[in-house]
Structure 1
């Protein structure tokens, strides 16, 4: 399928239901969910919502952890033509309260485990929990007519620089997000993915769920990632691929558990996204487990994947998230013009999977798109002669020491070169003399005798003294977002609050 998907999610779910077969299995114990069952339940939910007089494109909040119910609510909202507003359950009460208020949702699907969070964060005079039982035996309601350009998804960014922004995706861009994944990874109806990332995050939602809808395969959905159960879940579910983030790859690498031979040979690949994968970690994982890790890159604003390395036997370049699939990539100079000489600039993307807008925030929307329609990612990088992108850092994460820009990523990679390091992140500390000084936080394996001084010396040998951290802090856990991505901007606060 070389063209972006046409139609709406309603159309695609109807097609899968007509074809039949299992869509989702649940390693944690819920019964399998077939495509026809999912379509019928989604249609019932859609009719019940429509009967409430909810307008097309109106936000419906979803406060659900991964599971069968979460999928039924998500597809019910999408099938009815409403805007699925996925609430990040671990964002903190302030961010959840803001998302519920800002989205304008009048109704919410609230899982039993999230009742407390909902009551803490919702203005109960303006938003009500929707009773799922109301969808059973609801009189048929004529559903809203749908088109590809209608609103489908509202997902809030992590808000590292102020208030979270509400990213709006249409049916077209949401489907295209699943399509870029399916094309890059050559997913077929015979594939079964393993989802351990939350579907209130764009990676879990688009890569695994929408990628499955587009490919016609199936998906094993876990409630959450567990290092002790990961390989057992992969084996039980007969998964052929999985999508994770670098911290998960590192935790699996430092676990004593191995997959059985049949699981090892069945899994075609694992994919890594959300942040840079340290080359030493990637090589060690592949050497130990005998399966390729495909490094990729995506954004909430692009319905996840924009770049991917090809599958073997194609060329994978360690340290690069790969080449563009289904969209265009450019490096922009300071004047927002594409550069063609391989020099560094801001990574930008243009294509069918790019968001429509930031909800009710025209200033932020205008600032994110160039006059030529490129979406600015905020990442610094360069493109080599073969079209592979090498990301060198985040514009907003650069450490500026004595007027010189230092990318935290190269310090992270030096730290990860020691096999006892499980998590690592460099960051800047304000300093009167230099503007900022370099420090780092790491998590090391239990029983390790590694010292901060040894890690600083490793950095000195690989990077020189100027770029190396003055201090390395050992933490039990580094702060992470819902996908497992380390939140660099929160580390200093954790250290000072200890």
Structure 2
């Protein structure tokens, strides 16, 4: 079953962005291949197994594409990829692009129920999965669930562990003749990749992106953070299989001819060691990871960086200032999502002293995504909507999401509240969906998290709602204290009272954690935190 992916952005706009050079108008593999021809000996990838040049990576990608074609993978087929960060993930990505197939990466570590949901709803024909990853046998589990996936033909098992019976070993796929393979030349406006949301819906959303939206729109985002046009050297601490990680193969390699520095699993010690050893220009991470790195003894001195690029969650001012001092580089707080919005302040952004509403994000870049504010009845601020070269085609297997989040003209409704200030900068004020309803009153989680983050004893704060028989929901704060600090609920609410935050928005439960739990995508795990709070109560 080949799924039908309809582009909800008007075709005249897509062609205009290609004609004026905003998008390269080439498919991802063709872009990568151009760098391989121009600089075959340039290092493309660094991981735990060593380095690969562009020529070496290309040979492996072509071999994998030939091997997958022999297994029946055709242009337009969806290929799932559940592999940790490393060369296998990049090879699978490039091989899918060379076949004209649609890659569906999702992070290693996610359970089999979620994998089955993603593969089933997308109609995936094949999946490349780790034989074993941190105690999870992904390939074996998918084989056991194959009866639930009628479209799935092949499970390819990667990694050093023994492939389970019934799977195709990755080594066998890579043994195909790369010289006999002729790459497809898909339409640059056709689907190249399906991005998976971090799971705020009942089932994670899947969003289809074209070659031009990835290499063009998302590629333009990274281009603004490369000041000297020298190919970037990017340390990805987030999974390449996350929405943020989609800036890896298609953007860092194919668009910009850069180098990927990859860790199979994040730890603050390994991340700091990688910066010292491999000297990246850019580090891409979520704020929680940077906080964990800052708490390591002996963090400084570090080799110079061009930028820390942080996304997936808001970054408080105290952490941003500390990171700028310790890492000695600009800290870029990216506002973006898999749904199709992207905005940041660039390398020179410093919101210090700003007293306006919400958080200053930066000026929208029309070469990435134009941003407007749509009125919302009953709200002081409007909803942020976006449309531009990086806008995805559509949601996959979910027409109801297209109706809910896309307009007839192709704009994406983000569900976030914001405003454009007099300087033309986007300000993020809150979220329509991330609220706790306490006794009929809405409490913005983002607003309370920002207030908590200003307390000198708070390293990180995550708020969420817990059920209550009287009020419906009550607000709980999960707080990681700074080293050597002990915090109480009374101390935190007094601080918030001093900030002028309405008493009805004060947390009523406090959970202190020694380490913030993370999802496989690297974001704070709100479900795990909610379970800890309920257990403590």
| Same topology, TM > 0.5 | yes
Indicate the residue corresponding to 2:510 in structure 1.
Answer: 472
Indicate the residue corresponding to 2:5 in structure 1.
Answer: none
Indicate the residue corresponding to 2:126 in structure 1.
Answer: 107
Work out the CA distance in 1 between the residues paired with 2:272 and 2:518: 23
Return closer, same or farther for 1:134/1:240 CA change in 2, 3 Å cut-off. closer
Work out the CA distance in 1 between the residues paired with 2:464 and 2:176: 56
Given that 2:224 and 2:346 are in contact with CA atoms closer than 8 Å, whether structure 1 keeps it comes out as yes
Work out the CA distance in 2 between the residues paired with 1:68 and 1:288: 30
Q: Is it true that 1:310 corresponds to 2:342 in the alignment?
A: no
Work out the CA distance in 2 between the residues paired with 1:207 and 1:308: 18
Structure 2 SS opposite 1:4: coil
Return closer, same or farther for 1:323/1:207 CA change in 2, 3 Å cut-off. farther
> Which deviations, in whole Å up to 9, do the C-alpha atoms of 1:400-427 show, x marking residues without a partner?
3344432212221222223442331122
Indicate the residue corresponding to 2:375 in structure 1.
Answer: 333
Work out the CA distance in 2 between the residues paired with 1:167 and 1:153: 8
Give 1:437's match in structure 2, choosing from 474, 477, 481: 474
Residues matched between the structures, number: 486
Work out the CA distance in 1 between the residues paired with 2:200 and 2:473: 19
Work out the CA distance in 1 between the residues paired with 2:250 and 2:535: 38
* Structure 1: 5+ residue stretches without partners: none
Return closer, same or farther for 1:56/1:364 CA change in 2, 3 Å cut-off. same
Q: Which runs of 4+ in 1 moved over 6 A?
A: none
Return closer, same or farther for 1:366/1:332 CA change in 2, 3 Å cut-off. same
Indicate the residue corresponding to 1:482 in structure 2.
Answer: 520
* Structure 2: 5+ residue stretches without partners: 1-19, 157-168
Residue 105 of structure 1: how far off its partner (Å): 2.2
> Which deviations, in whole Å up to 9, do the C-alpha atoms of 1:58-110 show, x marking residues without a partner?
01121210011211111111111111111322332321221222222232222
Return closer, same or farther for 1:311/1:334 CA change in 2, 3 Å cut-off. same
Residue 328 of structure 1: how far off its partner (Å): 0.3
Indicate the residue corresponding to 1:22 in structure 2.
Answer: 42
Return closer, same or farther for 1:245/1:475 CA change in 2, 3 Å cut-off. same
Structure 2 SS opposite 1:301: coil
Indicate the residue corresponding to 2:111 in structure 1.
Answer: 92
Return closer, same or farther for 1:203/1:329 CA change in 2, 3 Å cut-off. same
Return closer, same or farther for 1:493/1:127 CA change in 2, 3 Å cut-off. farther
Give 2:298's match in structure 1, choosing from 254, 257, 279: 257
Q: How does 1:237-276 map to 2 (within 5 A)?
A: 237-260=278-301, 263=303, 266-276=304-314
Residue 203 of structure 1: how far off its partner (Å): 0.8
Indicate the residue corresponding to 1:158 in structure 2.
Answer: 198
Given that 1:209 and 1:219 are in contact with CA atoms closer than 8 Å, whether structure 2 keeps it comes out as no
Return closer, same or farther for 1:455/1:212 CA change in 2, 3 Å cut-off. farther
Work out the CA distance in 2 between the residues paired with 1:203 and 1:350: 18
Q: Is it true that 1:6 corresponds to 2:11 in the alignment?
A: no
TM-score, reference length from structure 2 = 0.83
Return closer, same or farther for 1:311/1:242 CA change in 2, 3 Å cut-off. same
The worse-fitting range, judged by mean Cα deviation, of 233-242 and 472-481 is 472-481
Return closer, same or farther for 1:29/1:55 CA change in 2, 3 Å cut-off. closer
Return closer, same or farther for 1:415/1:104 CA change in 2, 3 Å cut-off. same
Work out the CA distance in 2 between the residues paired with 1:120 and 1:211: 32
Return closer, same or farther for 1:177/1:255 CA change in 2, 3 Å cut-off. farther
Residue 198 of structure 1: how far off its partner (Å): 0.6
Residue 221 of structure 1: how far off its partner (Å): 1.5
TM-score, reference length from structure 1 = 0.89
